[in-house]
A and B are shown apart, each in its own frame.
Chain A
């Protein structure tokens, strides 16, 4: 019976893969951010044959202040194929989706969840609308799913460091933080995972500083090269903090109740948090505190960005939830699995 269920789940995940692949083939270049930020800059790198500084200074709507590592990587794909052909690039996205699902499956197995149950939870995850969207359903080309992949890899590496005591792998975490921070600035928030690894405080501080260097270099370079930003950053007035916090919380709750994107996942999530505590050392000591600090960092980021907070939250919160899904979905799966174990 379990073998049959396992095979059925594989088929269902396969259907999702074909669905996102079909999306890439039949609806390429749909989301405005894809053709006005990520692929636009990739095209500029390819066409200008180097760092497109003058281009970045003139194309204000394209968030010129964003790090350019991902568009640069995409331009290398164009270099290999010899032309700007978006389909070759976007076809990577369904494969990123599959890799994410595979990493999720392997992590659940490591948390001592059975094969069939792990695959079942992977299938549930594979049906998240924001994940399907960025895997190929009209949002292929966005950067958030790439961060999701990096965070899954980081969790695996952290597991090796914490549980298997392979502390030399700290270099890999530092590398992943630097890459994430050069894809989108908020990728730097992955730095919090370093603080829950079994190393001394001095080493945590050192590795955190090291992994933050590329982000600082990019901020300096932007200023030196006079690359403009399309929004400012600054502290809100003290009397504005509470009203802004309420706006942020309202936006987050509204997204969690967005049935189209999440159906009833967030209701199940908050309920399982109430009824079941985590029991796994890795989940309790690494996953949960890291997601708390990463989420807190995003909330602070909303205060610092000088744009209308409500608009900023509503336009970005679904993508941020996708980015953070490796963390919160892992401890949701862990706790739900314990609930089911108690029932059987």
Chain B
């Protein structure tokens, strides 16, 4: 199950976390929120992002 968590601090700063996505799908999924809420200040790609991207690449090379 995919979801997006948005934590808004008492001072209005926002942190968006995507959960359950594979590869770069997470960036596509949250883009509507990032664009709507303001200016992107920092992005952190997690290990799941890179692992899924590598698996996709290896699968395509095996064809």
State whether these chains interact.
Answer: no
Binding site for A on B (CB under 8 A): none
